[in-house]
A and B are shown apart, each in its own frame.
Chain A
Amino acid sequence: MEWEAVIGLEIHAQLATKSKIFSGASTAFGAEPNTQACAVDLALPGTLPVFNEEALRMAVKFGLAVDAEIGRKSVFDRKNYFYPDLPKGYQTSQLFHPIVGVGHIDITLEDGSEKRIGVTRAHLEEDAGKSIHDEFPGMSGIDLNRAGTPLLEIVSEPDMRSAEEAVAYVRKIHSIVTSLGICDGNMAEGSFRCDCNVSVRLKGEEEFGTRTETKNINSFRFIEKAIIGEIERQIDLLEDGGRVVQETRLYDADKDETRSMRSKEEANDYRYFPCPDLLPIEIDDSYIDAVRDSLPELPDARKARFIEEYKLSDYDAMVLSGDRNLADYFETVAKAANDAKLAANWVMGELSKLLNQNDTDIKDSPVSAEQLGGLLERIKDNTISGKIAKQVFEVMWNEGGTADEIIEAKGLKQVTDSGAIEKIVDDVIANSGPQVEQYINAEPDKRGKMIGFFMGQVMKASQGKANPGQVQGVLKKKLDALV
């Protein structure tokens, strides 16, 4: 039996507004509990919501970026349920008339192929607060700072057939919302989270199998692992003659498995109805056109430009255009160094390596794009070799300073003076009697390889500062003169 997975995703992107969706309280992350929860967020009697215009504009930006229909008239609905992190007893959301309708994005898979994934809809809603269960005996602590933070819930069609496709989709949406500047994309802080709907069916079947929903997964890697694990669990269950139960599951990253959280309440248990406290939102073509004119360059367009303008490979262009901050950084370095390929190699190589090792975001890189550009300039004009440049880069990362200052202070300037190089080469040859003997007696076509030993000695003697191209030439000339 061959099984096929069917995956649909719901992504909650926290919109990067300064204030909440229906109140003037701050949305800043990490404040003391309940210091950013005002009377509206607490649902005190007599308070009324007033809609944040920036949340609307951000949602429309997203809709335009995924080529979607924009709801000229959208309506807020109440989704009723009881939980203390939601003091109103309902979440204000949009069920019947969302702001963003049907759209699509194209994802690129590892083998280079493209696939179109449908976006069913995206709607505005408010986030709930946070409950802390394990700190107080018999009680739960409630922090309502997050209550009322604007979210854009982006719902995909069940178009994905593997964990790889799902992750490519999530990355693409992540790259779109961060490029638009409507979400900071910080998964660890919960600004971008993903619920995965997974079912399996026999290949060729038309009907979908029973699906489960795995909630709030907060890294790309966990999304992949959770989906792979859930597909396996369902297949095992069905092959053993069991049945998949429709339910909500939680991904446990430590055990790398999903576990049941609660059986899914029926949709009509939420008793949705239009929110009488909020009037319909109407927008016209001129509003939409104005938003369209304000859109920044999107990842697909930027990738195409990187290939065209900088002659980058498809892969390099995709990686560098995927994150707006990374793309901006790369372009600044490329312009400063006047060499896009060298800039791409350094940004994706040394810089990304240190960023990963130190778990640092590109935004907080201790080495600025200007600093790195300055360093690459010194490679280009032969002041230092690529190898020395890595040393300079590490100093830059740890201690700061410009490339010129570090090269000067550490005396790393490349030796290009031919007299100096000849002197070192002479010393090495004089001190390497047996190797010189071997070189002389070797077959001529083997000698090229043997030069490596002498190269190493000269570079060592010069502490890596001799210009390698020059050393190679001088060595060959002097050794061949002995034959």
Chain B
Amino acid sequence: MSLDRSDVDKIAHLARLQIEEQDAPEYAQNLSNILDLVDQMQAVDTSDVLPMAHPLDAVQRLRSDEVTEANKRDALQAIAPQVEKGLFQVPKVIE
């Protein structure tokens, strides 16, 4: 399977990645190579193999429902680029 320029542009948009015009053909080639590898793996007969949700053969440990986190807003917002009235400020996002 091979990806073309428009696929690369779409994936970059979904991932919010800015890519340079001249790099696009190389990305398309690299991503296509990955898909080729997947195709190769798809060819293996796995009808007897159970699907795996996680590489570790373990189950999720659960946490009891207790509030253990205190308010650390000041410390956590000290590293934010911009804060006002306790709100994180980001460039306006409205559709």
Contacts and interface: CB of A to CB of B under 8 A. Distances in A.
Interface of A: 17-19, 23-26, 32-39, 42, 44, 50-56, 73, 75, 80, 82-84, 97, 131-133, 135-136, 138-144, 261-262, 269, 271, 274, 276, 278-282
Given A140-B92, A142-B90, A37 B67 contact: no
Contact of A139 (B56, B72, B90): B90
A35 B71 CA distance: 5
8 contacts: A34-B76, A35-B86, A37-B76, A39-B72, A51-B63, A262-B95, A279-B61, A280-B60
Given A24-B69, A75-B53, A82-B16, A139 B89 contact: yes
Interface string B24-46: 00000000000000000000000
Nearest to B70: A38
Contact of A33 (B56, B82, B86): B86
Nearest to B60: A279
Contacts of B84: 136, 139, 141
Interface in B54-95: 54, 56, 58-69, 71-73, 76-77, 82, 84-95
Given A35-B71, A280-B60, A141 B85 contact: yes
B93 A83 contact: yes
A280 B85 CA distance: 40
Contact of A53 (B64, B85, B92): B64
Given A34-B76, A84-B93, 18 more contacts: A18-B66, A19-B65, A24-B66, A24-B68, A33-B86, A33-B87, A38-B76, A52-B62, A52-B65, A75-B54, A97-B53, A131-B93, A132-B87, A139-B89, A140-B92, A274-B53, A279-B56, A279-B61
Contact of B86 (A32, A56, A83): A32
A140 B66 CA distance: 32
A53 B65 contact: yes
Which range contains the number of B residues in contact with the other chain?
35 or more
B14 interface: yes
A146 B68 CA distance: 16
Nearest to B94: A133
Nearest to B90: A84
Contacts of B76: 34, 37-39, 42, 44
Nearest to B93: A140
B69 to A, nearest CB: 4
A45 B63 CA distance: 21
A73 B51 CA distance: 12
Contacts of B53: 73, 75, 97, 274, 280
A410 B44 CA distance: 89
A274 B67 contact: no
A254 B53 CA distance: 47
B19 to A, nearest CB: 16
Contact of B59 (A44, A97, A132, A279): A279
B86 A269 contact: no
Nearest to A142: B88
B8 to A, nearest CB: 15
Contact of A54 (B65, B73, B89): B65
B69 A38 contact: yes
Contacts of A142: 87-90
Contacts of B87: 33-34, 132, 141-143
Nearest to A87: B88
Contacts of B88: 34, 84, 141-144
B11 to A, nearest CB: 9
Nearest to A41: B69
Contacts of A82: 14-16
B65 A51 contact: no
Contacts of B93: 83-84, 131, 133, 140
Contacts of A135: 85
Contacts of A17: 65
Contact of B94 (A26, A44, A140, A282): A140
Nearest to A22: B63
